């Protein structure tokens, strides 16, 4: 089902009563969520993700703006009449009920023409359990299950009425790293299989990027950018989005555009056309550095980390705004750069200062270099 958010705004009374300033948790959110897509709602703590989800679910009423499901205005409908399934971070299962009874629960309150026979209810519960692959756990109590299994039960319970829209609020936060990975794949599989329009809230950019058809990046209640994960990563609209996405994070420098050249420190590192002479922030993705003997960007080599297929070259440059620069290059460079690094250490064992002085030079992939206005932090190119 298509979900449309139109000028959606939610204000809460500020905590400091004397100031009488409202907190604008969601500020004029506009978005057409296409039918059958999985949307990742992403941003740091307090940016308004949960409030947005609670507005869509009906648990909160907007201060202004409207919400449409499949063309129908649902803004004034209570949650139970919206045809939604909800899953929260803390599975919220009934501890005294078995898995089966937990999944059956939403069906038992159906009234009037929606009322189901016992057999129909059982069929639906079994179908939901099959979908999340917990059929063999139906007679267990929640306390006997792992966190991942409990979250699957919560998802089965949300799916049992075959909702039009599935809303997930940080559903993986209570799981350990391995289960998180597994369960997020699981959510993707279930979403693909059912085709239910799904909105998934997370503060973990990697999680959102890996399973979403589209991501929405929010900051201070304001949508910063909406797009396919790769598009947003490759083409961030501002410094915030560029920094928020990417592992390892984007490298940041102070730079200067002058005479169609980009300078980082004294080095003219890239030709940049059609941009006025100005001071800029320069963002370079870790994979945007190309090791090259006569490359224009000179850095001091600080270390090399092997990461399977790639190596991470840790280095420094005076114009860098972070502790160190992280460049990801192919493992084929390992031998050479490893030797350079070892040479910096000298024969008597590690000599940090000498290692730091060992220069390493990079050329830059222009598609991985972004320039931002120093005042507005909007992207220039």
Residues that bind ligand ATP (CB under 6 A): 12, 23, 25, 43, 45-51, 203
How many degrees, rounded to 5, is the angle at CA 298 between CA 307 and CA 354? 75
> What number of other Cβ atoms are within 10 A of residue 81's Cβ?
10
Please identify, using beta-carbon distances, which residue of 26 and 196 lies nearer to ligand ATP. Answer: 26
For 110, the 3-state DSSP assignment is coil
Q: How far is the CB of 243 from ligand ATP (least distance, A)?
A: 17
Of the two residues 219 and 258, which places its CB atom closer to ligand ATP in the complex?
219
Detail the DSSP E strand segments found in 265-351.
267-271, 278-284, 289-291, 297-307, 310-316, 325-330
Are the beta carbons of 64 and 7 closer than 8 angstroms? yes
Q: Which residue has the tokens 């004397």?
A: 18
Pick the closer one to ligand ATP by CB: 31 or 345. 31
Cβ at position 49, least distance to ligand ATP in Å: 4
Q: State the nearest-atom distance from the C-beta of 356 to ligand ATP, in Å.
A: 38
Which one, 47 or 252, has the nearer CB to ligand ATP?
47
Q: Whole-number minimum distance, CB 255 to ligand ATP, in Å?
A: 32
DSSP collapsed to 3 states, 42-89:
ECCCCCCHHHHHHHHHCCCCCCEEEEEECCEECCCCCHHHCCEEEECC
| Minimum distance from residue 147 beta carbon to ligand ATP (Å) | 19
- Give the nearer residue to ligand ATP in terms of CB position, either 48 or 62: 48
Q: Between residues 24 and 337, which has the closer beta carbon with respect to ligand ATP? A: 24
The residue count of the chain comes to 381
**Shortest reach from residue 198's CB to ligand ATP, in Å:** 17
CA distance 184 to 302: 36
The single-letter DSSP state of residue 379 is B
* 306: its two tokens: 């092997």
C-alpha 270/C-alpha 365 separation (Å) is 9
Task: Please state the closest distance from residue 33 (CB atom) to ligand ATP, in A.
Answer: 18
231 preceded by cis ω (within 30°)?
no
Q: Which position has the token pair 């629960």?
A: 105
Q: For residues 52 and 177, what is the distance between their CA atoms, to the nearest angstrom?
A: 26
Nearer residue to ligand ATP within complex by CB, 11 or 141: 11
Nearest approach, Cβ of residue 56 and ligand ATP (Å): 12
Which CB atom, from 25 or from 329, has the smaller least distance to ligand ATP? Answer: 25
């Amino acid at each position: 089902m298509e979900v449309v958010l139109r000028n959606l705004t939610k204000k809460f009374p500020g905590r400091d009563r004397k100031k009488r300033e409202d907190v604008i948790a969601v500020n004029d959110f506009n978005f057409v969520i296409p039918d059958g897509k999985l949307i990742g709602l992403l941003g740091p703590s307090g940016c308004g993700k949960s409030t947005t989800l609670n507005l869509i679910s009906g648990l909160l009423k907007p201060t202004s703006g409207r919400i449409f499901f499949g063309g129908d205005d649902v803004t004034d409908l209570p949650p139970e009449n919206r045809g939604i399934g909800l899953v929260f971070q803390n599975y919220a299962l009934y501890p005294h009920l078995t898995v089966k009874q937990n999944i059956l629960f939403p069906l038992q309150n159906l009234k009037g023409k929606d009322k189901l026979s016992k057999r129909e209810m059982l069929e639906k519960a079994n179908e939901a359990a099959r979908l999340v692959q917990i059929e063999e756990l139906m007679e267990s109590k929640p306390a006997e299950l792992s966190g991942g299994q409990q979250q699957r039960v919560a998802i089965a319970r949300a799916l049992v009425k075959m909702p039009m829209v599935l809303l997930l609020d940080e559903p993986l936060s209570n799981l350990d790293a391995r289960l998180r990975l597994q369960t997020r794949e699981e959510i993707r599989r279930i979403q693909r299989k059912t085709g239910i329009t799904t909105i998934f809230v997370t503060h973990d950019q990697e999680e959102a990027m890996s399973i979403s058809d589209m991501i929405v990046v929010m900051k201070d209640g304001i949508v910063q950018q909406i797009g396919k994960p790769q598009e947003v990563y490759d083409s961030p609209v501002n410094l915030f989005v560029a920094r928020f996405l990417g592992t390892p994070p984007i490298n940041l420098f102070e730079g200067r555009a002058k005479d169609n050249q980009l300078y980082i420190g004294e080095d003219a590192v890239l030709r940049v056309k059609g941009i006025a002479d100005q001071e800029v922030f320069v963002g370079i993705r870790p994979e945007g550095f190309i090791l090259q003997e006569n490359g224009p960007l000179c850095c001091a080599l600080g270390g090399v980390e092997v990461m399977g297929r790639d190596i991470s070259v840790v280095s420094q440059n005076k114009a860098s705004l972070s502790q160190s620069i992280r460049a990801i290059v192919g493992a084929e460079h390992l031998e050479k750069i490893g030797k350079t690094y070892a040479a910096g250490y000298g024969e008597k064992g590690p000599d940090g200062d000498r290692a730091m002085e060992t220069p390493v030079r990079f050329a830059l992939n222009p598609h991985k270099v972004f320039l931002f206005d120093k005042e507005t932090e909007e992207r220039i190119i």
